[in-house]
């Protein structure tokens, strides 16, 4: 678990924009397997489950595959096996147990999970639900690949073969002054009003070599030179994934556990280095990242399947201070470190996923699936650039549009090397967990401020 951290005051919990919703799509399933997501200041998205009748609030994570909770589930059974999940910073470990799980109105009678001892980092009553491929599950591996060790979604799909093998995620933006759509997660269902997601291009999930199957994620190819910079021009890129035939197509992992997008440094240079006042710094808590003035509107677009996905300027930079006239922001496209895996180039986290409705079809990745269809991803753009611009003016500029005076430097002193190192090297799992200590949320260590 990677702690990409900002120390926020304890009032973060009080400011949390909590959204609940129930929507039904008769086109896929007569039952409503939809749940609202709680949004903790754009830092953490979580939903509720029960294990053995005990309620837990769990972060949703498409970048990992295991379910764990902090606290005692008394009405559970011990499998006699223990396991751990190691992350770039920190780890969790505990006994592998089974209990009845209720999740999105699905009931799994004996779901496996890791029971973690509560601590200041992992408070009781909280946890994480991994929504990644079954092959990436440490629990599944610890139980020797037996069906009883399947992940939550694989168990749901297996126990009802008529259930469509899909997951969808819609992330809200708590600071959005105009469009406060509900943040929601669904299994085997589509959110009402977003049915057009099924008409979008099917992006085939790239399969990693069997020798590295534990590193399998929901990863697809971007279009050729598929990141457009603030100047409206494609950013020249070159993949480091040897199996990719077209070197200008990057492999991207979709990970709801990452706050910032992780990209090659040449990409973050192209986006931020020309902005007056931008500085590339190696912060002790976050590693290498750009800092820049918060009144600079930065725009970028990502391309998948010949479709454009504009990124909201409030997701391109994040405010770290709350003092008028003295705001400092960090870039939402953070340089990925040399610890990046060989099977992907970038990680698209919350800063991207707040701009696209995400559908993952598990296809034949689901254990016991009857289909031979490979897994795929579909994306539906939900950001209108014109509306997003007005949101930025309202939120960052006090309603006075001064972006017409914005100028970009023609040259930059930023390093052009991709050889970036930080405390986040040697990633073993691609997820971000938000640590909560004494009511404070940790995302990036600074001393003051509220994230916008």
* 313-353 pLDDT per residue, tens: 999 998 875 455 567 889 999 998 745 578 999 999 999 99
- The torsion angles phi and psi of 293, rounded to 5 degrees, stand at -65, 140
pTM: 0.84
- The torsion angles phi and psi of 129, rounded to 5 degrees, stand at -115, 115
Structure tokens at 392: 């930025």
In the chain, the percentage of residues whose pLDDT exceeds 90 is: 63
Give CA–CA dist 120/99, Å, rounded: 25
pLDDT for residue 28 is more than 90: no
- The torsion angles phi and psi of 195, rounded to 5 degrees, stand at -60, -20
Question: Could you tell me the pLDDT band of residue 36, with boundaries at 50, 70 and 90?
Answer: low
Question: Could you tell me the pLDDT band of residue 35, with boundaries at 50, 70 and 90?
Answer: low
Residue indicated by tokens 């996923």: 353
Give CA–CA dist 376/252, Å, rounded: 13
Q: What is the mean pLDDT of the chain?
A: 81
User: Do residues 312 and 330 touch, judged by C-beta distance below 8 A?
Assistant: no
CA distances from 85 to 137, 166, 195 (A): 9, 25, 36
SS (H, E, C) the chain: CECCCEECCCCHHHHCEECCCCCCCCCCCCCCCEEECEECCCCCEEEEEEECCEEEEEEEECCCCCEEEECCCCCCEEEEEEEEEECCCCEEEEEEEEEEEEECCEEEEEEEEEEECCCCCCCCCEEEEECCCHHHCHHHHHCCCCHHHCCHHHHHHHHCCCCCCEEEEECCCCCCCCCCCCCEEEECCCCCCCHHHHHCCCEECCCCCHHHHHHCCCEEECCCCCEECCCCCECCCCCCCCCCCCCCCCEEEECCCCCCEEECHHHHHHHHCCCCCCEEEEECCCEEEEEEECCCCCCEEEEECCEEEEECHHHHEEECCCCCCCCEEEECEEECCCCCCCCCCEEECHHHHCCEEEEEECHHHCCCCCCCCCCEEEEEECCCHHHHHHHHHHHHCCCCCCHHHCCCCCCCCCCCCCCCCCCCCCCCCCCECCEEECCEEECECCCCCCCC
Structure tokens at 9: 């005051």
Question: Could you tell me the pLDDT band of residue 440, with boundaries at 50, 70 and 90?
Answer: very low
Residue indicated by tokens 């949320």: 441
pLDDT in tens, 72-130: 999 999 999 999 987 655 689 999 999 999 999 999 999 999 999 999 989 999 999 99
CA distances from 299 to 61, 175, 229, 315, 434 (A): 26, 17, 7, 9, 27
Structure tokens at 122: 């992992």
């Amino acid at each position: 678990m990677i702690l990409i951290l900002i120390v926020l005051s304890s009032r973060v919990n009080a400011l949390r924009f909590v959204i609940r919703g129930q929507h039904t799509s008769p086109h896929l399933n007569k039952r409503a397997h939809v749940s609202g997501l709680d949004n903790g200041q754009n830092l953490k998205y979580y939903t509720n489950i029960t294990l053995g009748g005990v309620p837990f609030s769990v972060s949703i994570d498409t970048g990992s595959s295991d379910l764990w909770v902090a606290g005692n589930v008394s009405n559970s059974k011990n499998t006699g096996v223990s396991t751990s999940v190691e992350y770039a910073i920190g780890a969790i470990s505990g006994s592998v147990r089974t209990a009845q799980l209720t999740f999105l109105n699905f009931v799994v009678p004996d779901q496996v999970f890791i029971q973690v001892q509560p601590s200041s980092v992992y408070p009781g009553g909280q946890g994480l639900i991994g929504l990644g491929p079954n092959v990436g599950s440490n629990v599944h591996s610890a139980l020797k690949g037996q069906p009883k060790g399947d992940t939550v979604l694989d168990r749901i799909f297996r126990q009802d073969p008529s259930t469509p093998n899909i997951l969808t995620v819609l992330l809200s933006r708590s600071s959005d002054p105009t469009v406060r759509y509900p943040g929601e997660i669904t299994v085997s269902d589509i959110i009402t009003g977003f049915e057009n997601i099924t008409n979008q291009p099917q992006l085939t999930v790239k399969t990693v070599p069997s020798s590295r199957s534990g590193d399998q994620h929901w990863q697809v190819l971007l279009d050729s030179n598929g990141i457009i910079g603030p100047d409206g021009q494609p950013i020249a890129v070159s993949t480091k994934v040897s199996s990719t035939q077209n070197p200008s197509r990057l492999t991207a992992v979709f990970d709801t556990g990452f706050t910032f997008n992780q990209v090659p440094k040449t990409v973050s240079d192209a986006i931020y280095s020309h902005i007056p006042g931008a500085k590339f710094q190696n912060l002790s808590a976050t590693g290498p990242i750009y800092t820049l003035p918060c009144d600079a509107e930065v725009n970028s677009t990502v391309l998948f399947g010949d479709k454009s996905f504009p990124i909201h300027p409030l997701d391109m930079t994040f405010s770290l201070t709350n003092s008028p006239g003295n705001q400092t922001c960090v870039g939402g496209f953070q340089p990925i470190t040399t610890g990046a895996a060989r099977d992907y180039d970038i990680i698209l986290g919350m800063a991207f996923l707040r701009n696209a409705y995400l559908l993952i079809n598990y296809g034949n990745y689901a254990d016991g699936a009857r289909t031979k269809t490979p897994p795929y991803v579909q994306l539906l753009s939900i950001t209108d650039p014109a509306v997003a611009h007005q949101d930025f003016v309202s939120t960052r500029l006090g309603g006075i549009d001064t972006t017409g005076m914005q100028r970009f430097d023609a040259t930059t002193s930023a390093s052009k090397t991709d050889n970036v190192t930080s405390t986040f090297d040697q990633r073993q799992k691609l997820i971000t967990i938000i640590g909560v200590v004494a009511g404070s949320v940790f995302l990036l260590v600074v001393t003051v401020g509220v994230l916008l």
